[in-house]
Amino acid sequence: MSTTQLMVKDLVKRNGRTRNSLMPVLQGIVQEENFLSEEAMLSVAEELDISVAEVYSTASFYTFLDTVPRGKNIIRVCKTITCHMKGKDEIINALSNALKIKVGETTSDKQFTLLTANCLGWCHKGPVMLINDDIYPDLTVEKALDIIGAYSQKPK
Ligand code: FES
């Protein structure tokens, strides 16, 4: 049995073998592996005795349940109107150039994934980005690059 299958088994054991466990189990997998692999989704369907289609549709409905591999640090730059007007494009371009990836991509060393997000609730302090669970308001290009630099120096 693969490590993914074992992890799914363990999550199902902890959350219970019922239909209601689907979300917590999927979230648990994303926490462990950073994304939902095909293998993990198949295992969940088998363990919870539900259809693979149901697992897929739940996963694609919730955008935070990533189904493609992600980096260790997930950057989400707010793209909604206030942050847009306050210069989110410059921030995204600067991050994209510094990391050499486009929005939606992951760096080859798997350290960063660059994404956009809808309003993060910090409009009065835009432009704003979220890295993992940490919010960074009042961004300038310089500030955004410094923040990324600090993450790059964290132990891998
Ligand atoms: S518009 Fe960016 S945080 Fe609300």
Residuewise pLDDT in 10s, the chain (156 residues) = 889 999 999 999 999 998 899 999 999 998 888 788 889 999 999 999 998 888 988 887 776 777 777 888 989 999 999 999 999 999 999 999 999 999 988 999 999 999 888 888 899 999 999 998 899 999 999 999 999 999 988 765
Q: How far apart are CA 2 and CA 42, in angstroms?
A: 13
What is the pLDDT at residue 1? 86
Residues of the chain with CATH 3.40.30.10: 73-152
Count Cβ atoms below 10 Å from residue 53 Cβ, excluding itself: 9
Q: What is the greatest pairwise CA distance in the chain?
A: 51
Helices (H), ranges, 49-104? 52-61, 81-85, 88-99
Please give the pLDDT value at position 67: 75
Cβ of 136 below 6 Å from ligand 1: no
120 lines ligand 1 (CB under 6 A): yes
Residue 5: CB within 6 Å of ligand 1?
A: no
Q: What does the CA dihedral 142, 144, 145, 151 come to, rounded to 10 degrees?
A: 150
Q: Long-range contacts of range 144-152, CB-CB < 8 Å, 24 or more positions apart? A: 144/91, 144/94, 144/95, 145/94, 145/95, 145/98, 148/75, 148/95, 148/98, 148/99, 148/112, 151/73, 151/111, 151/112, 152/111
pTM, entire model = 0.67
Q: Do you find a cis peptide bond into 137, omega within 30 degrees of 0?
A: no
Cβ atoms of 103 and 92 closer than 8 Å: yes
Read off the pLDDT of residues 102-128 as tens digits, 9 standing for 90 and up: 998 899 999 999 988 888 889 999 999
Q: What is the pLDDT of residue 155?
A: 65
How confident is the model at residue 65, as a pLDDT? 77
Could you tell me the distance, in angstroms and rounded to a whole number, from the CA of residue 118 to the centre of ligand 1? 7
CATH of 73-152 given 3.40.30.10, 2.60.120.20, 3.40.50.300, 3.40.50.720: 3.40.30.10
CA 43, CA 155: separation in Å to the nearest integer? 32
Measured CA to CA, the distance from residue 136 to residue 130 in angstroms comes to 6
